[in-house]
Amino acid sequence: MQESLFTTIGYAVISLAAITLYGISLNGIVRKIVARVHGRFGPPVWQPFIDIFKNYARRRSVAHGTMFFLGPVFRLAGGVGTYLFIPAILGSAIFSNFSFAGDVLLVMYFIFFGQLGMALGAGESGHPYSPMGVGRGLSQMTAFELPFALSVIAIVIQYNTLSITQIVQAQQGSILNWTLFTNPLAVIAGLFAMLGMNMHSPFDIVIAPQEIPIGPPTEYHSQYLGMLQTNRGLFTAAKLVLFMNLYFGGATNFIELIVKTFFIYMVSVAVGVAFPRFRTEESIRFFLKVPLIIALAAIIFVSL
Amino acid sequence: MSDKEKDRLENKGLSPQERPLFCDKRPKTYKPLNKYWEKFLNWARANSLWILAYGTGCGAIELRPLMTSRFDMYRWGIAPRPTPRQAGVFIIGGYLSIKTLKRVIRSYEQMQGPKFVIGLGSCTINGGMYWDSYNTINRLDHYIPVDVYVTGCMPRPEAIIAGFNKLKELIKQGKADGDNEYVKNLEWYKKNQKQIIKDWDMPDYNW
């Protein structure tokens, strides 16, 4: 049945709103968990929402030029674009978004689109920490892109499709059908790449508190920062949904989605609270050694 | 003087070559929004206080324990922020030398409103033990509007937390309006600042 344009747009808006709220709450929960690990009470779970409201309600904002203005817009477009082409819940009309036959390639492109846009915007702000953070971010991105792309290629070869929906469908039936069990090497390489992508310690070299506080968004304030914070929630959740779809069998309802993405995110958080930050070159060398070899092994394993 | 010229600052401290490089727009005051909406936003502002991580005197040492698990300021929504653009609360941690005052003014003006100032220790109130020093200022609120003073030399972290709670009350009641106050009385503040900072080589308002 052909749905009307308005229904499609309505579904996309609902889906986007739900995942944004979930992503922002997830950030709040993680802050609480990290605080408990430190032995603190930590901020309330809804703290990110208060911060976002406050930032949007700032009375003044200064622009440094057109690109500066467009930076957060590109970042948010990257987040929205990434999410809108991932089928979040299998078989759901509302949450299958704009998934199509070649979406895995488009999603991989969109994940990096936002960072490139942000790099241009932050560059125009003129603060010395911004290009430093951007340089670190882009070089780290290039490094973790290798194991991630190889891992995705391994999965694409394995399931012989470029559609995320079909990859999820192939994993249905039993827990043993998940990529986690059918191709564990690709999953390990992908999870290593995810650690880099989520920018938690030890890979938080872009934001690098106490070193180049706080990197690219140094000059971003008020509504710009509000947009970046909104995107942080949305983008985190979108990436987790992608990883859930590729490696952990996808989800057939919203509860399953929340449970699975939460535990996938916990991998990043657990590593983050246990390890101190890498230096830039250490981080890049790390990705080019073990994860890359594992990802190559995954492709060989699949093609045999 | 035409309206357009009134809207501009003179920036006399800058050389004619430098003047075009800086913004000379005069800041504006802002009216509160609709009653209920403003009330909600004031609640959000009170529960998300981002401190500018800039210690100006010995009082800054008392801010560090606030981040630790013993005092844990994060549970009240207070967090340090490394850049004035994103920060909303400026804590002047004790004595303020004239050299530092210049940086304080630059940072304060770069913060986006609504912004609040907490004066820490006796030095910000009347100069404290530095009251007759040749290179410190005595009364902070002659130079930037202060919302809350915390007395002591130095105040303990508990006292600082009490100061934060007072600031929260003021924000929720809509009484912490230092941002508009500063813009309204810009001439007076600038006169005081320029009186004490002899090498004024920055624009009249650091955007």
pLDDT tens-digit series, residues B72-114? 899 998 998 888 988 999 999 888 899 999 999 999 999 988 8
CB < 8 Å from B in window 28-57 of A = 31, 35, 38-44, 47, 50-51, 53-54, 57
Residues of chain B with C-beta less than 8 angstroms from the C-beta of A54: 41, 44-45, 48, 88
Check pLDDT > 90 for residue B146. Answer: yes
Regions in chain A scoring below 70 on pLDDT: 1-2
pTM: 0.90
Question: What is the per-residue pLDDT for A90?
Answer: 84
How far B174 CA sits from the closest chain A CA (Å)? 14
SS3 B51: strand
Instruction: Give the integer Cα–Cα distance in Å for A187 and A193.
Output: 10
Tell me the three state secondary structure of residue A158.
helix
Q: Which residues contact B80 (CB under 8 A, 6 or more apart)?
A: B50, B51, B53, B63, B67
Q: Locate A99 and state its tokens.
A: 């998934």
Q: Is B146 left (phi over 0), alpha (psi -120 to 50) or beta?
A: beta
Q: Percentages helix, strand, coil for chain A, rounded to the nearest 5?
A: 70, 0, 30
State the pLDDT at residue A249: 86
* The pLDDT of residue A148: 92
Residue B3: per-residue pLDDT: 66
| pLDDT of B1 above 60 | no
Q: A61 and chain B: CB distance < 8 Å anywhere?
A: yes
* Residue from the list A35, A61, A222 with its beta carbon closest to the beta carbon of B74: A35
> Considering CB atoms only, which of A35, A43, A214 is closest to B83?
A214
The pLDDT assigned to A297 comes to 92
**Mean pLDDT to the nearest integer, B179-187:** 91
Candidates A110, A112, A85, A111; CA nearest to A97 is A85
- Do A99 and A242 meet the contact criterion of CB atoms below 8 Å apart? no
CA distances from A168 to A43, A179, A241, B44, B61 (A): 36, 9, 11, 41, 54
With 60 as the cut, is the pLDDT of residue B197 above it?
yes
Query: CA of A40 to nearest chain B CA: how many angstroms apart?
Result: 5
pLDDT band (50, 70, 90) for residue B57: confident
Res B2: pLDDT = 64
The reply to whether residue B179 touches residue A59, judged by beta carbons under 8 angstroms, is yes
Give the model's pLDDT for residue B193.
Answer: 92
* Pair of tokens at residue B86: 């994103």
- Which strands sit side by side in the sheet containing B148-150, from one edge to the other? B78-81, B49-52, B89-93, B116-120, B148-150
> What is the reported pLDDT for A2?
61
- End-to-end CA distance of chain A: give it in Å, rounded: 41
Contacts with B24 from chain A: Cβ below 8 Å:
none
pLDDT interval class at B46 (50, 70, 90) = very high
pLDDT for A217 equals: 86
* Minimum Cα–Cα distance from A221: chain B residue: B86
Distance CA A11, CA A87 (A): 12
Q: For residue A53, give the nearest of B44, B72, B75 by CB distance.
A: B44
Residue A237: predicted pLDDT: 92
- Return the pLDDT at A150: 92
pLDDT at B18 (0 to 100): 87
Identify the pLDDT of residue B172.
Answer: 92
Nearest C-alpha in A relative to B31? A59
* ipTM of the complex, rounded to two decimals: 0.90
Predicted pLDDT of residue B188: 93
